[in-house]
Amino acid sequence: MINRDLVIIGGGSAGMAAAVAAYDHGVRDILILERTDLLGGILNQCIHNGFGLHEFNEELTGPEFLTRFANQVKERGIEYKLGSYVSSITRDKVVTYSNEEDGAVQIQAKAIIVAAGCYERNAGAIGIPGDRVAGIITAGQAQLYLNEYGYMVGKKVFILGSGDIGLIMARRMTLEGAKVLGVAELMPYSNGLNRNIQQCLKDFDIPLYLSHTVSKTIGKGKLEAIEISQVDEKLRPIPGTEKRFECDTLLLSIGLIPNNGLLDNIGVAQGRSRGSAVNEHLETEIDGIFSCGNVLHVHDLVDWVVSEGKVAGEAAALYLEGKLNRGSKKIVTVAGDGVGYVVPAEVDLEEAPEKLQFKFRCRKPTKNVYITYSLNGNVIKRFYKQTIIPSEMEIDPIPKSLLTEEGTLTVSLTPKEVK
Amino acid sequence: MPTELTCIICPNGCHLTVDDNLNVTGNKCPRGVAYGKQEVTDPRRTITTTVRTNSKTFAVCPVKTREAVAKKLIFKVMEEANKTTIAVPVHIGDVVVKDIAGSGTDLVATRDIEE
């Protein structure tokens, strides 16, 4: 068995940022294991711009953004292995990976950072009625085919789900000459960023059907048409509202899920984001195993993925120096009214830094509310928001000085009183 | 009549109102003012797409217009980009098509491809 100080699983934005931060805090024996043949993860196929406004103060495309981080990794001489698939980790921090050159290898790591990203919900997850035909694929898969391999998956396209990847693909396929007939969204509001509704749909007069879903797929062998229906308040299709679209492709942009199998398989406690429960240092319940980026909770901005990677990298460096301890006093966070999940799941009152960040997503679009942080029922901080929407992660700074006692920190949305 | 816009400069996506005298409201940052004025008088977009390569490993290379181009030129830019094949090595910022579609700006590479 090979011994390494720090093994990072995933060479995307989170993994690269974690590696660079760990290196800059003194760790020298680092190995990044990346499943694909490129560093950069999902950014390789995100050729559109809009990345890096926070991290670099300029607007970059995905490949430009990842190249800056890949260069930081390479300049430091941090070792990485591509085409290397991690099949398991153990609670004792044994990492098993395999690739063509090395075969199957076991590494005894002192610390592990899991930065394995997320995956797309697919057709099987929602069970659309109708014919089982070719031509129904996830938006991200279509993006990979087009932007990395250079071929189009169809000419007449309908999109289910208004997540950002679906919106970006509506524009991308339109630019490449496809006819995008429309986007159906189950909820009464879009799940994408406002700017993407504008620049990907409105710019090209692509209709967005809110409170609609695909109620039937039609075809023999290959998709020929779909039917969409309006849904009622319980999200069930309403008979008689069907509209038919002749199309050869149905793209699905129906959500992303943390790719957290490695940690789930060894029973690490989960958070409500479907990633693992972590503390303020992004450390899981197992000492020296950290989680960051989309494998912890799905982000909308890569800049926040990077900042999370840095937190995990720095924490791993502290851990390897023996300076990351667990105190006996802690606060557990709870997602209260209107809040889907909160990261971190707990805060160590003795070891936490002075400045803390809490991240969450709301459950549905809400106007005129306070984000309220209550410690054991007493309000310690409120932030007023004109609007808050599920597609944008909320990040709030809370100074540790406000966390004066052990117990439960509840994050909830409370309506602003109307006078 | 005032125009209602969604700012596309950053992911905040501010809801802007631009009146007839080009006064912009609803913006969270100064870039929203510039965007609101520009969008009402001369709408522009940065185009990102790919061009074919002679590389062994990358079938296509991602590219972008260095500056935003007039919205009406979008499909003309695409047409020219789709006729283009580049030779590797290519590096980020290398000009792929000079003054593409007469837009006044260049199409540049956004990925390093060595071979």
Global ipTM: 0.90
Same domain for B27 and B56? Answer: no
Provide the shortest C-alpha distance from residue A147 to chain B (in Å). 7
Question: Could you report the per-residue pLDDT of B37-50, keeping only the tens digit for each?
Answer: 988 899 999 999 99
Which of B8, B12, B78 lies closest to A199 in CB terms?
B8
Whether residue B75 lies inside any domain: the answer is: yes
Residues of B in contact with A152 (CB under 8 A): none
Same domain for B52 and B90? Answer: yes
Closest-CA residue of chain A to B49? A47
A47–B62 C-beta distance less than 8 A: yes
Question: Could you report the per-residue pLDDT of B18-30, keeping only the tens digit for each?
Answer: 998 899 998 988 8
Mean pLDDT in consecutive groups of 10 residues from the start of chain A, 419 residues: 96 98 98 97 95 87 97 98 98 98 97 98 90 95 96 96 93 97 94 85 95 97 97 95 98 95 97 94 97 96 95 98 92 96 95 93 91 96 90 93 95 83
Same domain for B53 and B17? Answer: no
What domains can you pick out in chain A, each with its CATH number?
Answer: 1-120+255-324 (3.50.50.60), 122-254 (3.50.50.60), 328-419 (2.60.40)
Same domain for B34 and B75? Answer: no
pLDDT band at residue B104 using 50, 70 and 90 as cut-offs = very high
Closest-CA residue of chain B to A174? B75
**Domain count within chain B:** 2
Residue A225 bridge partners (DSSP): A218, A246
- Please name the helix (run of DSSP H) or strand (run of DSSP E) that holds residue A72, with its range, or none: helix A62-75
Provide the shortest C-alpha distance from residue A139 to chain B (in Å). 16
Same domain for B104 and B52? Answer: yes
Whether residue B67 lies inside any domain: the answer is: yes
Same domain for B74 and B96? Answer: yes
A237 inside 8 A of chain B by CB: no
CA distances from B100 to A202, B64, B68, B105 (A): 24, 11, 12, 6
Domain span including residue B98 = 48-109
Whether residue B21 lies inside any domain: the answer is: yes
Spatial contact of A33 and A9, defined as CB atoms under 8 Å apart: yes
Same domain for B63 and B105? Answer: yes
Whether residue B115 lies inside any domain: the answer is: no
Which of A48, A150, A392 lies closest to B60 in CB terms?
A150
pLDDT band at residue B11 using 50, 70 and 90 as cut-offs = low
Whether residue B31 lies inside any domain: the answer is: yes
Which of B11, B78, B112 lies closest to A301 in CB terms?
B11
Same domain for B72 and B54? Answer: yes
Which of A49, A64, A196 lies closest to B46 in CB terms?
A49
Closest-CA residue of chain A to B78? A175
Q: Which residues contact B70 (CB under 8 A, 6 or more apart)?
A: B42, B43, B44, B103
Cα angle A317-A318-A320, degrees, rounded to a multiple of 5: 65
B71–A203 C-beta distance less than 8 A: yes
Is this prediction's pTM over 0.90? Answer: yes
The residue type of A209 is Y
Residue B9 confidence (pLDDT): 78
B110–A47 C-beta distance less than 8 A: yes
For the segment B6-15, the average pLDDT, to the nearest whole number, is 78
Whether residue B114 lies inside any domain: the answer is: no
Closest-CA residue of chain A to B7? A195
Residue A120 confidence (pLDDT): 96
Residues of A in contact with B9 (CB under 8 A): 195
Residues of A in contact with B79 (CB under 8 A): none
Spatial contact of A409 and A333, defined as CB atoms under 8 Å apart: yes
Same domain for B66 and B103? Answer: yes
A50 inside 8 A of chain B by CB: yes
Residues of B in contact with A392 (CB under 8 A): 11
Whether residue B23 lies inside any domain: the answer is: yes
Same domain for B76 and B97? Answer: yes
For the segment B48-61, the average pLDDT, to the nearest whole number, is 96
Residue A170 confidence (pLDDT): 97
Same domain for B56 and B77? Answer: yes
User: Is pLDDT at B1 greater than 90 in this prediction?
Assistant: no
Q: For residue B83, give the CATH number of its domain.
A: 3.10.530.10
Burial of A36 (0-12, 13-18, 19+ CB in 10 A): middle
Rg (CA), chain B: 17
Task: Give the mean pLDDT of chain B.
Answer: 92
A150–B59 C-beta distance less than 8 A: yes
Same domain for B28 and B66? Answer: no
B62–A61 C-beta distance less than 8 A: yes
Whether residue B22 lies inside any domain: the answer is: yes
Work out how many CB contacts closer than 8 A connect A with B: 83
What is the token pair recorded at A152? 């189009």
DSSP for chain B reads: --EEEE--SSTT--EEEE-TT--EES-SSHHHHHHHHHHHHS-EE--EEEEEE--SS-SEEEEEESS-EEGGGHHHHHHHHHT-EEPSPB-TT-EEETTGGGSSS-EEE-S-B--
Residue A53 confidence (pLDDT): 83
